[in-house]
Amino acid sequence: MSQFIKTDPAYRNWVTEIAQRFKNCQIKAAMKVNHDMLRFYWQLGKEMSAMKNNYQWGSDFYQQV
């Protein structure tokens, strides 16, 4: 049976296709996570920039954050 699986081109093609689909899903997931993290950090920077105006120089605002 294992000899049949190794030489059957249809099976090899199917396994190759599954591997490619899996890799594509991993890439899409990584892109989504990166997009969401970038948006989070952008918003955080925007909020920190707005809040720093409420603090005086030397108040260690960034260190506290």
pTM score of the predicted model? 0.59
Average pLDDT over residues 3-24: 86
Q: How far apart are CA 16 and CA 19, in angstroms?
A: 5
28-59 per-position pLDDT tens digit: 999 999 999 999 999 988 888 887 777 666 66
Q: Any idea which residue has 């296709």 for tokens?
A: 17
- Give me the pLDDT at residue 42, please: 96
User: Where does the pLDDT of residue 62 fall: very low under 50, low under 70, confident under 90, or very high at 90 and above?
Assistant: low
Average pLDDT taken over every residue of the chain: 84
The CA angle 36-32-63, to the nearest 5 degrees, is 30
Q: How far apart are CA 10 and CA 15, in angstroms?
A: 9
Nearest to 47 by CA among 23, 29, 22, 65: 65
